[in-house]
Amino acid sequence: MRPALEFNRRIPDPLEKATAEHILEIRQWTEKLFSVKVSRSPSFRFTPGQWVRLGISSGSGLPGSVIWRPYSMVSADYDDYLEFFSILVPGGAFSSRLAASHVGDTLFVEKQPYGYLTAARFTGGRHLWLLASGTGVAPYLSILRDPDVWQRYEERILAYSVSYAREIAYRDALAALATDELLGPDRPPLRFVPIVTREAVPGTLHARLPTLIADGSLERAAGLAFTPEDSRILICGNPTMLDDVRDALVARGLRSDRSAIPGHFASENYW
């Protein structure tokens, strides 16, 4: 028989670990892709590349009934708002409600960020490669607005893979990096390699990231080679993409970065 005290133990309320924020702006990129800006608690801190759990009311009418999902921050760590990049999943309990939200609606943001997909995790290296598919580009938009990244690395390369050209989001934000004074003067521009897999588009590569790594096409397009000495690589996307890209990099003589054994690439998987 359990002690009587155990029956009186208070069940923690998950909303105590979150702040109630308000949607400031919704931007529709395609019929499925959209971004959401929300207010930011002054006490919320994160490292570019990290993610946080977002909560939205389930609509059940029950007190405290909230659906939670992980999202990477798109915004810079010094912005006074938080921004997230989402895809509408057909029948998705969270994304369908988020896509139907309006400016002023409440979105819960957990107070604690998570994740280690950060540029600061690496030792050594001169070239920072950011490999993304779909909404996996989100943390890189935050990382690329971090002045430390532009001071530490001599070159920054973003390879951004989508199914169709219209899905390449944040072109304006990427272009604005060239004139962002916070990132410092006299620096090489971002090397941007757009990839479109389901249609042939001039000026883009036309194959999956693992194939482009294996046959050298990605390196030729970027004008830089993968080397253990120079390359430090972050990978973000769907689980299949992550597995295949990691295998392709290992085949090129690169190894995963671990806490006890420094390496050349790292990935985040919160699916």
Domain boundaries defined on the chain: 14-110, 119-268
Q: What is the pLDDT of residue 270?
A: 56
Give the tens place of pLDDT for each residue, 156-209.
999 999 999 999 999 999 999 999 999 999 899 999 999 999 999 999 999 999
- Residue 27: how many CB atoms within 10 A of its CB? 13
Q: What is the pLDDT of residue 264?
A: 98
Half-sphere exposure of 94 (CA within 13 A, CB side): 14
Question: Burial level of 121, CB count in 10 A (0-12/13-18/19+)?
Answer: middle
Same fold, 14-110 and 119-268: no
Q: CA angle 170-205-197, nearest 5°?
A: 80
CATH number of 119-268: 3.40.50.80
Tell me what the mean pLDDT of segment 135-152 comes to: 97
Residues 6 or more apart in contact with residue 179 via CB below 8 angstroms:
none
Q: What is the pLDDT of residue 164?
A: 98
Does residue 267 register a pLDDT over 60? yes
Q: What is the pLDDT of residue 105?
A: 97
Residue 163: which region, alpha, beta or left (left: phi > 0; alpha: psi -120 to 50)? alpha
Considering the segment(s) 14-110 as one domain, its CATH architecture is Beta Barrel (2.40)
Say what the pTM is. Answer: 0.93
Q: Per the structure block, which two tokens stand in for 259?
A: 């806490």
Does residue 271 register a pLDDT over 90? no
Distance separating alpha carbons of residues 157 and 138, to the nearest angstrom: 15
Task: State which amino acid sits at residue 41.
Answer: S
Give the tens place of pLDDT for each residue, 68-105.
999 999 999 999 999 999 999 999 999 999 999 999 99
